[in-house]
Structure 1
């Protein structure tokens, strides 16, 4: 299964030439992940960070930039779960506009407790990520 979210390139995303400044892509990627947790996993970042005092930091990221994105473009982001481990998960994301790939990214997130240590995913999250990933395998 694939999660989709559209983000329009705004002035605050761009450098003076009107193209996306690459660190802003990472903010957009994180926004897609945050919305995936809320919309699909029903486990919003507010619950994770504020209520439970835990976190899901990115511990590894590999990104490739295929084409520039310009002010006003509507980017279609997709997210797929590639692997779910005991305390980590690998996600694949892509951003396209007008049928052209702009960015591809693979990132690994880890569940971290308030003391800053990796720990097993809460079952409510882990089971939904696995179900989402397996639904993609059957597509």
Structure 2
């Protein structure tokens, strides 16, 4: 697994884009987006990417594939340009790596066309543990979804 801070040879897979207006509650007293909020933006962007890839909202995807979740196991970000209250930004989320039971997503947040933040995350496809269904266990990502994530 590659650290989110190390450069990788990304494969441009499935992408999803959304727009977001920066709200007052996203900002710190200086009037710029408070850094942890970017990770909220990216978490929701991954949920929307999965919804677009599967055709199911997150709850439906979890039920369809008998998952407990797609927990975050690694994350990071580079902050390049501040975003402020009222800015309208675009977040482009792209699957850049797919393994047997995990996938990596790159998030690029553009503000007025400029890269403001670049985030990376790796998530695990977490099914139920056979000995205790309340516990998580990494599961194989279904092959049709692997192909979709890879953009095939």
TM-score where L is the length of structure 2: 0.78
**Conserved? CA contact 1:62–1:106, under 8 Å:** yes
Name the residue aligned to 1:129.
Answer: 149
- Structure 2: distance between partners of 1:126 and 1:92: 16
1:56 counterpart (45, 52, 70): 70
TM-superposition CA deviations, 1:31-82 (whole Å, max 9, x none): 1111111123324311244663521011111211111110000111111111
Q: Which runs of 5+ in 1 are unaligned?
A: 135-139
Moved more, 65-74 or 99-108: 99-108
TM-score where L is the length of structure 1: 0.85
**Conserved? CA contact 1:87–1:121, under 8 Å:** yes
Residues 89 and 38 of structure 1: CA distance in aligned 2, closer, same or farther (over 3 Å): same
Aligned residues: 132
- Structure 2: distance between partners of 1:50 and 1:122: 14
1 or 2, which has the higher strand percentage? Answer: 2
**Conserved? CA contact 1:48–1:54, under 8 Å:** no
1:41 counterpart (54, 79, 83): 54
Name the residue aligned to 1:7.
Answer: 20
> For the aligned residues, what is the CA RMSD?
1.7
Q: How far apart are 1:123 and its partner, in Å?
A: 3.4
2:105 is the counterpart of 1:91: yes
Secondary structure at the residue paired with 1:113? strand
Question: For 1:73-112, what aligned pairs fall within 5 Å after superposition?
Answer: 73-112=87-126
1 or 2, which has the higher helix percentage? Answer: 1
